[in-house]
Amino acid sequence: MNGSGDWFRRFAAKMSARLRNFMMGRYGTDRLNMVILSVGLVASLLSVILRFEPANLILFLLSYGMMFWAIFRSLSRNTYKRYQENRKFLQLWGRMKDREHRYFDCPKCRQMVRVPRGKGKISITCPRCREKFVKKS
């Protein structure tokens, strides 16, 4: 009676081993991919809801583009580059959520400088290269 169950369990084990093998050295998924997939999902839902051209067509293409992009990223072997993309994305995300600070790039060395928001025009000294620049915070 257990024969088919065993067969299935062995089959599932084999498939998951195969998948592991396939994913070896590949990037897999991350926060950025989750966001890409979510955007793709929303776009595909909207393309079904919106019934006028060309909005639904654009959303349809966007949803496919997003899905292919996410698949491409997760199967990519260039893990360093994908990791950097995700890091940049998380950084931008953190900046957007931060309501108490503003972020500037040093004009000389590109070092990111964080200053408190709402202090008017302030002179900022770069912590790395000591360059001074004035920004509105």
**Which parts of this chain interact with Zn ion (CB under 5 A)?**
106, 108-109, 111, 126, 128-129, 131
| Per-residue tokens: 42 | 């929303």
Give the torsion through C-alpha atoms of 47, 52, 53, 55, to 10 deg: -40
Place of tokens 């989750």: 34
Instruction: Indicate the residue among 87 and 110 with the shorter CB distance to Zn ion.
Output: 110
State the Cα–Cα distance between residues 128 and 91, nearest whole angstrom. Answer: 19
Residue 114 beta carbon to Zn ion: minimum distance, rounded to whole angstroms:
13
Instruction: Indicate the residue among 64 and 103 with the shorter CB distance to Zn ion.
Output: 103
Residue 127 beta carbon to Zn ion: minimum distance, rounded to whole angstroms:
8
Q: List the one residue out of 84, 75, 86 whose CA is nearest residue 26.
A: 75
Residue 20 beta carbon to Zn ion: minimum distance, rounded to whole angstroms:
45
Residue 104 beta carbon to Zn ion: minimum distance, rounded to whole angstroms:
10
Instruction: Indicate the residue among 98 and 105 with the shorter CB distance to Zn ion.
Output: 105
